[in-house]
Amino acid sequence: MKFPSIKFEGSIFSSDILEKIEQRNSNLQIQGNEMQYFNKKKILQIFFLLCLSSLFISLYGCKKMVACTYCNGKGEVNCRECGGDKEYEVKEDCSYCRNGRISCKECNGDGNSECPNCNGAGMSLQPCMSCGGSGMYYYPSGYGVTCNRCSGAAMIMKPCHFCNGDGNSECDKCDGKGYERCQECLGTGYEIKTENCSGCDEKGKVVCRNCKGEGKVEEKK
């Protein structure tokens, strides 16, 4: 746009000068509009941040945090499965016995053994009661004859008084029970083995569920 020359207070302004003045005013107006837009954008950003800050403060800012009583503020507790030992005991049936008992080897589980007095025969030689163990029977006159009951052997076979003729006696090793206490499990019937704890990955500690590992919880009023 061409401007005519203007005379003002004794000074003459050519069209070129007037054109530069017009362009400068136009640039200033544009800068002013950009500044105004920038200020509005900045204000909106600040307002948005203030809203977020207010929301955060309303949710968390007023809550007082105290140490978790479950873990004493550590954020972790002992593993329930191993008690913090990193391994735990497992009970398994004893492989050497049944219910803590093993069959007596002395009597083969029968509870009885061969009578030591009659060697299992049930009968034993005992002094003849008719001749008093002499083999001779004497009359009152003093005349003696061979004892008819023992045929002069002075001993006769009678049921063993130790086993009552059964030939068996109570096993001395198992006291007639037929079984003994297992020495591997000491009569418990199971063996105790240790296994690495998988509940805590052999660490002995797990994250506290009350504070979720933070060590702090909101104070209860």
DSSP string, 51-66: HHHHHHIIIIITPPEE
What percentage of the chain carries pLDDT values higher than 90? 3
The string of pLDDT tens digits covering residues 23-43 is 665 655 555 555 555 556 666
Q: Answer yes or no: is pLDDT of 10 > 50.
A: no
Q: How much is the average pLDDT of 47-69?
A: 70
Q: Answer yes or no: is pLDDT of 79 > 70.
A: yes
* pLDDT grade for 5, boundaries at 50, 70 and 90: very low
Q: Answer yes or no: is pLDDT of 56 > 70.
A: no
The structural domains of the chain, with segments of one domain joined by +, span 6-62
**Residue 218 DSSP SS3:** strand
Prediction pTM value:
0.36
Gap between the Cα atoms of 152 and 137, Å rounded: 9
Instruction: Give 193's contacts (C-beta < 8 A, 6+ positions apart).
Output: 89, 90, 92
Q: How much is the average pLDDT of 65-81?
A: 88
In 94-161, at which residue ranges do the beta strands (DSSP E only) sit?
Answer: 101-103, 112-114, 123-127, 136-138, 144-146, 155-159
Q: Name the residue with tokens 């004892």.
A: 147
Q: Terminus-to-terminus CA distance in the chain, angstroms?
A: 77
Q: Name the residue with tokens 């503020």.
A: 73
